[in-house]
């Protein structure tokens, strides 16, 4: 019983950390950025994204471990009943979110670093395009996080 409570707590904590972090970045941090100068924005986003990445990837590991433990036997990607279908949708959305996170972390962020303008230099069109792609993917991931939360609520009914 106590182990199950610990698993549920860690699963919820990891969910709140990962999805809550996405909500904070997209709805609070990014809209507040215009008050900073472009070089300061870059410094803040660099530091914030590195720190968030540590928490996000740690949360993903915890979610995968606890989620696998929490999934009832035989229901991993089973679509034969409403409950298992909802659980499957949740799992597919989470896996898609992880893939998007890999693309952001392993492809877009390193390219942004390589294309970052030097002081007193205007950002290149490629840099701006990558920033826009990052913004779109981050918003898509946040919306998918909302879908995951909706699935969790539906699983409680």
**Tens digit of each residue's pLDDT (9 = 90 or more) over 78-104:** 888 899 999 999 999 999 999 999 999
DSSP H or E stretch at residue 45? helix 38-70
Q: How far is CA 152 from CA 2, 93, 114, in A?
A: 22, 12, 39
pTM here is 0.92
Q: Residue 118: what pLDDT?
A: 86
Domain range list for the chain = 2-156
Low-confidence ranges of the chain (pLDDT < 50): none
Q: What is the pLDDT of residue 72?
A: 86
pLDDT score recorded for residue 126: 96
Residue 1: predicted pLDDT: 86
CA distance 111 to 105: 10
């Amino acid at each position: 019983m106590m182990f199950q409570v610990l698993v549920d707590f860690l699963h919820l904590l990891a969910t709140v950390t990962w999805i809550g972090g996405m909500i904070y970045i997209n709805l609070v941090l990014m809209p507040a950025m215009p008050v900073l100068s472009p070089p300061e924005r870059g410094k803040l986003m660099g530091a914030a994204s590195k720190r968030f990445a540590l928490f996000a990837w740690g949360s993903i590991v915890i979610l995968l471990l606890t989620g696998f433990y929490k999934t009832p036997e035989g229901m991993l990607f089973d679509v034969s009943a409403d409950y298992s279908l909802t659980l499957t949708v949740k799992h597919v959305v989470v896996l898609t979110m992880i893939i998007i996170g890999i693309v952001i972390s392993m492809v877009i962020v390193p390219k942004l670093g390589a294309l970052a303008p030097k002081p007193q230099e205007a950002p290149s069109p490629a840099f701006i395009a990558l920033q826009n792609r990052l913004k779109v993917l981050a918003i898509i991931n946040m919306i998918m996080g909302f879908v995951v939360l909706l699935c969790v609520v539906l699983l409680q009914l």
